[in-house]
Amino acid sequence: MAKMKAIQVSAPHGDFELVEREIPEPKENEVLIKVQACGICHGDAVTKEGQFPGIQYPRIPGHEVVGTIAKLGTGTERWKLGQRVGVGWHGGHCFKCAACSRGNFYGCEKSLTTGISMDGGYAEYMVAHAEVLVHIPEELNSLEAAPLVCAGRTTFGALESSGAKGGDVVAIHGLGGLGHLAVQYAAKLGFKTVVLSHSKDKEALAYQLGAHVYIDTNTTDATKELKKMGGAKVILCLAPNSKAISALVGALGYGGKMIIVTAAYEPLQFSPLMLLSGCSIGGFAGGNIDDTLRFSVLAKVKPMIEVFPLEQVALAYEKMMTSKVHFRAVLKMND
């Protein structure tokens, strides 16, 4: 049997292990992907640290995958050998449960998650369910496309579905791996884009990416500044700091919406009175990858990436977790 290189985690909190495995065979409704690139996302910590119950180890992480179809299982006639495709967080659904019958595949009762409940893209090959594949536009190279199937999908989806209209004040809280994409999307969607970050270091970059206003939250009261603008229609929270998020609730304008995408673990603290003006607080984890990719090509939105070989996954993961990567870490597979 042909072999492949892969990175696996054998137990919660375990090290990344470079191993040689047999190349898997696609079953019905599955395809085999020859991986070209796989982004490293904070969500990969779920597998690395064992943050979900029921993960079966050893497991290959990775859910920002781009590659070419190397083999087709039965029932996959829609796809062709050699076609370049992407796979994100959502790894498959049953088509039979109540959520699936309503088209809510993210809510599937038997939903699969790439790199968590099934092996992911930290490998030279991976098997994926055909129903979750997306075509990668030729205008995007594989290294640029990989972060868009998760980080891009999430930030673009949150903004697109937020209810904000052209000219509305939209604040992006955090200018990191997610935030640098969100700023581009918000500006291209026609929102008055305000970046909230905790230092002056990223101010020039924020304006370069399309921001209209930059607020250094270490020296300026962001809530007061946003209130001067009439309050934010949307605050997209991408920095994992519950205290900072709580402090921004008062910056929402009438009918404003706070959307939390980041994994902040501490409870939020705010007065319910702040919500009586029709404001709301919610999370977002959906989004359509096809829509994201098409818009990214049309609006020329691209991630800023740092590329690593598969063998340097531990370094790439550590730089991502400590916010030292510029701005998304991507593994590049050998041809």
Burial 315-326 (b: 16+ CB within 10 A, else e): ebbebbbeeebe
Q: 159 near 182, Cβ under 8 Å?
A: yes
- The SS3 assignment for 178 reads coil
The per-residue DSSP string of 271-318 comes to: -GGGGTTS-EEEE-----HHHHHHHHHHHT----EEEEEGGGHHHHHH
- The class that CATH gives domain 3-150+287-332 is alpha beta
Q: Kindly list the distances between the CA atom of residue 81 and the CA atoms of 5, 158, 191, in Å, as whole numbers in the listed order.
A: 21, 33, 41
β-strands 213-216, 192-197 pairing: parallel
Per-residue confidence (pLDDT) for residue 335, from 0 to 100: 66
Give the gyration radius of the chain's Cα atoms: 20
Cα distance between residue 232 and residue 168, in whole Å: 8
Per-residue confidence (pLDDT) for residue 7, from 0 to 100: 98
Q: Mean pLDDT for each consecutive 10-residue tract of the chain (335 residues)?
A: 95 97 97 98 95 94 98 96 97 94 92 97 98 97 98 97 97 96 98 95 96 96 97 96 94 96 89 90 93 98 98 97 94 87
What are the domain boundaries of the chain? 3-150+287-332, 162-283
Q: What are the phi and psi torsion angles at 2 (to 5°)? A: -70, 145
CATH number of 162-283: 3.40.50.720
Let me know if 27 is exposed, middle or buried by CB neighbors in 10 A (0-12, 13-18, 19+): exposed
- What long-range pairs does 241-249 form, CB within 8 A, spacing at least 24? 242/266, 242/267, 242/268, 242/269, 243/269, 244/173, 244/198, 244/217, 245/173, 246/270, 247/222, 247/223, 248/171, 248/173, 248/196, 248/222, 248/223, 249/274, 249/275, 249/279, 249/281
Per-residue confidence (pLDDT) for residue 263, from 0 to 100: 83
